[in-house]
Structure 1
């Protein structure tokens, strides 16, 4: 059980913190789909792939003092920022697992917006379909976000770039 917690701590440490619950959900989902051994189960939700298990583990890690959760009031919404605490770093070092094997992936994911990661993770969620069907499904379930052809192509290029990093 704690191994799964350690993977999350390690990933957030490798990413040097993550701002946004939705963003963290999408980052972990994309890594999982690229064969990094995250065990959380995902379902399709309002903002794309979502894991109740990941939410619970993040809360547990905060309760254990391994992650800090800072709230930032953005006016119309609150944004959460996650960082690994000193105790979390000790926990990470004691377990010793490195997720992912290529740490560049965490930085690449963290540099993207939550909106972009929502797009990329939704395309991955429908990865069992042909590309044209993936795009049609994306427009069906995410029509209000008005993703452009250029954004969709950028997402596919980004996912290809991550696949080339040999993450697992």
Structure 2
């Protein structure tokens, strides 16, 4: 019943915590697109792929004491930092074994900025299109972010690296 919750706890534990709600959304989405068994449904929103289900599960995990949520005041905005609690580490054992075949992937994602992950997740959201159509769509929906050709190339290379 709580398998999906345990997968989120497992991922955050392997990533050694995640700073930022948007970043967590993008990390899980990218993992789902890399065929990791996350079941959350995503729709396209302001910051790219977004899952109400993931938001609800994270809130429930915090309420159950399996995740801690710390708020950092950044002046013009508040940033959330998620970490797995001791109870969460015990709960994680529900899975039997980790969902990640290569734990380094969580670290690779966590090392990237929210902006880069938003770019990468947006490209993956439109992965049914040709490469040029993906880029055109990216500029149409994310024009204000002014992604450079270098950033886009880096995102495609990152997707390729994660896929192999």
TM-score of Structure 1 vs Structure 2, range by shorter chain: over 0.9
1:100 to partner: Cα distance: 1.3
CA contact (8 A) 1:6 1:91 kept: yes
Q: Structure 2: how far apart are the matches of 1:42 and 1:82?
A: 20
Q: Structure 1: how far apart are the matches of 2:77 and 2:42?
A: 24
Which residue in the other structure is 2:136 paired with? 136
Q: Structure 1: how far apart are the matches of 2:31 and 2:14?
A: 13
Q: Structure 2: how far apart are the matches of 1:42 and 1:100?
A: 20
CA contact (8 A) 1:67 1:82 kept: yes
The answer on 1:152 being equivalent to 2:161 is no
1:93 to partner: Cα distance: 2.1
Which residue in the other structure is 2:28 paired with? 28
Q: Structure 2: how far apart are the matches of 1:74 and 1:96?
A: 38
Deviations, residues 30-49 of structure 1 (Å, cap 9, x unaligned)? 00001000000000000000
CA contact (8 A) 2:12 2:18 kept: yes
How many positions carry a matched residue from both structures?
Answer: 164
Q: Structure 1: how far apart are the matches of 2:67 and 2:119?
A: 27
Which residue in the other structure is 1:86 paired with? 86
Structure 1: runs of 5+ lacking an equivalent: none
TM-score normalised over the length of structure 2: 0.99
TM-score normalised over the length of structure 1: 0.96
CA contact (8 A) 1:10 1:97 kept: no
> Displaced runs of 4+ in structure 1, greater than 6 A?
none
Q: Report the secondary structure of 1:75's partner residue.
A: coil
1:95 to partner: Cα distance: 3.0
Structure 2: runs of 5+ lacking an equivalent: none
CA contact (8 A) 1:7 1:97 kept: no
Q: Structure 1: how far apart are the matches of 2:14 and 2:142?
A: 30
Which residue in the other structure is 1:126 paired with? 126
CA contact (8 A) 2:15 2:110 kept: yes
CA contact (8 A) 1:65 1:85 kept: yes
